[in-house]
Amino acid sequence: MANDRVLILDFGSQTTQLIARRVREIGVYCEIWPYTSTLAKITAYAPGALILSGGPASVHEGGSPRPDAGIWQLGVPVLGICYGMQVMVEEHDGQVLPAAEREFGRARIDVAKDAALLKGFAPALEVWMSHGDQVSRLPTGFSIIASSSTCPAAAVVDADHRLFGVQFHPEVAHTPQGKQLLEAFVVGVAGLAKTWKMDRFIEQKIGEIKKAVGDKRVLMAISGGVDSSVAATLIHRAIGDKLTAVYVDHGLHRQGEIEQVQSIFKDGLKMDVRIVDASERFFAALEGVIDPETKRKRIGHVFIDVFDDVARTLSGDQRSVGFLGQGTLYPDVIESVSVNGGPSAVIKSHHNVGGLPARMSLQLLEPLRELFKDEVRVLGRELQLSSVVVDRQPFPGPGLAIRVLGEVTRARCDLLKKADAIVRTEIDAAVVAAFDAESSGAPASGPQVASSGLRGLWQWFAVLLPVKSVGVMGDARTYDETVCVRCVRSTDGMTADWADLPHSLLSRISNRIINEVRGVNRVVYDISSKPPATIEWE
């Protein structure tokens, strides 16, 4: 008998986990398995519905990934997304060919048929496309339920067998009604109950951590950010004083970082906290390094060396240290390694994922590895962490090393710390003022207007560019550094739009940086979105 859960077969899309996230938001439990999963294993799991993810391959090329052919006889509804739809069509004797006009980005589809998947939706929908191939011939029993100007089969259905396919990506934020479409499939078509909640995740993870750790000790890599704070709290709930939280002072942190870490973990969460000054080791490892991948990998290696040293100092305890805890999230994983051993493309290495050395004396313990940032915030609230921790904006594990473009030196990091502190202070104040004005009902103006630029902010920071330019200060010629301000809106970090900040706010940030940070004579603003850019510059 099928259960109230969804199984997603992963064909290597960068957004596969977003599908799972949307389904969990709906309230239905789901898991992601590799597309190579056998029919016997899938049958034993007994999902109530299947979703086939997108992927980078072309189904008409030899060796393209295919699922076990028996899934079509399981008798449960199946939704194919992008490549998943194309696989469905090919597996049922339809045809997929390279499109005459490829579609990447926003598109409009026209609903042609009132099928269950699109029942009640508007006649035209905005969606996010990302494909070079498309369906050229439908299989017997299938019909078109939506199309775009360049893609005749934007959505298809075989109603008799409850097989659905969409060429676009409902899981991404750029498809505004995508979550409703997934709910129409999961709840409306498959009839699954909304039984999944975050408290079940907490209970499950605490049990997993206890079982994995046993009588060993865990060192937790903390940064003061929401990811490591939530992960540390979850591990602490499971194993208590067998957890030692370690903050590595690598010299690549923001202003006031160490003081904040002590306040959050030692004073607030009452954990055993050790602060290790290893800044000289990190700067030595980064000397002369320009390539961002090399930076990340070297930082990862030094991190592990430092933690191995700390573990050895604690070896006198009767319970030996066996695990390194980290606040790794799913966006870190899918940008660093191929998911489930599948064909997903590697975007960049993260110091705590792709940047780790092959041989480590500690096993990794990553309880948040399958979650997105907004889910971690929900988890943090469930764990009753303060808003200071839960709502803190993201900060990369490699720290300022990937915001100092070019060679990373202590002097360049110190310069960036000052500029970054100004950016964060000014934007923080503008956001608070804007929402205070709204809540009081008073008319707001200028930088206090809570426009789209100040709503939904995800991250705001400064970047030091490897560019010097000529300027004039006090009638004297200067040849100084360039700082770039980056501010984006997002819900999960997978996609992001640049924030249209009030010009008066940008002007104030620029004036303060140039006047207060010696060595900077030019400030620029980044107006690129993700994709095609990433949120961080490296």
Mode of pairing for the β-strands spanning 476-489 and 497-498: antiparallel
Secondary structure of residue 382 in the 3-state scheme? helix
Q: Round to whole Å and give the CA distance between 64 and 114.
A: 33
**34: cis peptide before it, omega within 30°?**
no
Q: Round to whole Å and give the CA distance between 142 and 157.
A: 5
Q: Round to whole Å and give the CA distance between 390 and 227.
A: 9
* Burial class of 318 by CB neighbour count within 10 A (0 to 12, 13 to 18, 19+): exposed
What's the distance, CA 322 to chain centroid? 28
Closest CA to 96 of 111, 112, 85, 108: 85
Count of helices and strands (H, E) across the chain: 14, 18
SS3 string, 205-274, reads HHHHHHHHHCCCEEEEECCCCHHHHHHHHHHHHHHHHHEEEEEEECCCCCCCHHHHHHHHHHHHCCCCEE
* Residues acting as catalytic residues: 82, 169, 171
| Bridge partner list, 98 | 133
Q: Round to whole Å and give the CA distance between 356 and 293.
A: 12
Closest CA to 22 of 491, 394, 533: 491
Q: Round to whole Å and give the CA distance between 170 and 180.
A: 9
Q: Where do the DSSP E strands lie in 295-396?
A: 321-325, 363-365
Q: Residue 477: phi, psi to the nearest 5?
A: -75, 135
Q: Round to whole Å and give the CA distance between 427 and 434.
A: 10
Q: Round to whole Å and give the CA distance between 538 and 442.
A: 41
DSSP 443: -
What does the block give as tokens for 451?
Answer: 């426009």
Closest CA to 58 of 33, 82, 34, 79: 82
DSSP 342: S
Closest CA to 411 of 251, 300, 260, 529: 251
Q: Round to whole Å and give the CA distance between 431 and 436.
A: 8
